[in-house]
Amino acid sequence: MKSLTLKNLLGRPVRTAALTALAALLSFAVFIGTMIVLSLGNGLDSLEARLGAEVMTVPYEAATKKKFEDVILQGMTGYFYMDKSKLDEIAALDSVGDISAQLYLASTGSNCCSMPVQIIGFDPETDFTVTPWIKKSGGGQLKELDIVVGSDLNAFVGDKLSFYGVECNVAAKLDKTGTTYDTTVFTNIDTIDRLIQSSLDKGMNDFKNLKPENIVSCLLINSADGYSPEETMNDINLHVKKVKALRSKNMISGISSSLDGVSGMIRTLIIAVWALGVVILLLAFTMSVNERRKEFAVLRVMGSSRSKLAGMVFKEALSVCIAGSAVGCVIGLIVLIPFGGAIEQKLSLPYLLPGPAAVLMCVGGTLILAAASGAAAAVLSAWRMSRIDTGLVLRGDN
């Protein structure tokens, strides 16, 4: 015969289904909430890693009009330029260590381009931010007219994409970052020179009469040994005109505080839902035990000890909570994986699902929490039930 616990659960399908659904709902709320909080934190870490430089320097106007932030943090397309001489000027400062230039270009949705995206050109000779990422994603050295696409772009290795009439080869696809870089196209400085020239030739660039070989959009800088990023930033802002140096960390601090707010709200909701759920489970188990007092009295008569009966109530509660929790986690995953993009858009924050190990840990944690809550809710019922006066119960019902 199957265990009495299992028989009891299967023998009352409506009650079991209702309790399982309740546990599933609670676990779904906890799992999905935790995953969103983790994904937001992960997205922020990923953004920090992808910015990859301590200090970023852009044309003064790009910084004050927030054009740069819009491109990097909000996923808007845009471009801005400064004279390449700024690179040499800044590189000459004692506080500057690694320095590499990037060139920005935004394609449009018109028929000049395959898709409207942000295009960033980097210098493979000096780059220390994009190249390691390309290597990590399995890409190699870029040849002329080779491009690397972000993970959310609908293009794959071997595809051809056209920007301002220039056909480019997709040489690699980057790993997902959960940031605006997932919709960005990267290429080397020679290719982007060609693209900028082509946009100028077609009259589709706001900056007229530019010579691509003489411009840069952004300088990525790591401070020299003995200097702090703060000192390097101040050094640049003090000695180089018409540019604005920014600390990468400060740039994302706004995101970080929004993220703290959202995460805090989600955590509060999780706690509220869970506390309410434990109270509901407690009531449900208490009602269930009251309804089954006579059954428990019969088991006592048949020779069941108090501890055996309490154990049975406990096992039933644990089984229901663990099964419900597993269902809640599966539904959570079904919702999270396909709707991750929609959540990211709605929150307007970097959002990157954690890896399988972290997801499994989160599932495990939710199961343990559900089991612990079920056990806590069942303790009172089990204790009450173990104190029943068998004789009185049997007589009272007749």
Partner 1 sequence: MKLSAENVTKEFIRKTGKSNHFSAVNDVSLTLESGRLTVLNGRSGSGKTTLLNMLSGLLSPTKGRITLDGEDIYALDDKRLSRLRNQRFGVIPQGQTAIHSLTVLENILLPFSLYRESGEAEQKYALELAERLGIAQLCEVRPAELSGGELRRMAIARAVIRRPSVIFADEPTGDLDDENTALVFGFLRELSAQGSAVFIVTHENNAAGYADEVYRMNGGKLEISE
Nearer to partner 1, 85 or 307 (CB): 307
Residues ≥6 apart with Cβ < 8 Å to 144: 188, 190, 191, 194
**Contact region for partner 1 (CB under 8 A) — 136-144, 185-193, 263-271, 303-311?**
303-311
Nearer to partner 1, 1 or 357 (CB): 1
Q: Does position 7 bind partner 1 by CB under 8 A?
A: yes
Nearer to partner 1, 226 or 303 (CB): 303
Nearer to partner 1, 249 or 306 (CB): 306
Interhelix angle 306-347/356-386, nearest 10 degrees: 140
* Helical (H) or strand (E) element with 48: helix 13-51
Q: Does position 249 bind partner 1 by CB under 8 A?
A: no
Q: Does position 334 bind partner 1 by CB under 8 A?
A: no
Q: Does position 390 bind partner 1 by CB under 8 A?
A: yes
Q: Does position 145 bind partner 1 by CB under 8 A?
A: no
Q: Does position 198 bind partner 1 by CB under 8 A?
A: no
Build a one-symbol-per-residue string for 304-323: x at contacts with partner 1 by CB under 8 A, - elsewhere: xxxxx---------------
**Contact region for partner 1 (CB under 8 A) — 120-128, 262-270, 342-350, 390-398?**
390-398
Distance CA 175, CA 136 (A): 8
Tokens of 203: 């009259």
Nearer to partner 1, 302 or 357 (CB): 302
Given 14, 238, 302, 357, the residue binding partner 1 (CB under 8 A): 302
Q: Does position 14 bind partner 1 by CB under 8 A?
A: no
Nearer to partner 1, 99 or 385 (CB): 385
Distance CA 246, CA 241 (A): 14
* Helical (H) or strand (E) element with 223: strand 218-223
Nearest distance, CB of residue 390 and partner 1, angstroms: 5
Q: What share of the chain is helix, strand, coil (3-state, %, to 5)?
A: 60, 15, 25
Nearest distance, CB of residue 378 and partner 1, angstroms: 18
Nearest of 217, 207, 211, 216 to residue 197 by alpha carbon: 211
> Which residues are 122's β-sheet partners?
102, 188
Distance CA 14, CA 288 (A): 12
Q: State the sign of the Cα–Cα–Cα–Cα dihedral 41, 44, 50, 55.
A: negative
Distance CA 353, CA 145 (A): 32
Given 294, 335, 375, 376, the residue binding partner 1 (CB under 8 A): 294
Nearest of 301, 331, 310, 329 to residue 395 by alpha carbon: 301
Collapsing DSSP to helix, strand or coil, 259 comes out as helix
Nearer to partner 1, 11 or 140 (CB): 11
Q: Does position 384 bind partner 1 by CB under 8 A?
A: no
Q: Does position 397 bind partner 1 by CB under 8 A?
A: yes
Which residues form the interface with partner 1 (CB under 8 A)? 1, 4, 7-8, 10-12, 294-295, 297-308, 389-391, 394-395, 397-398
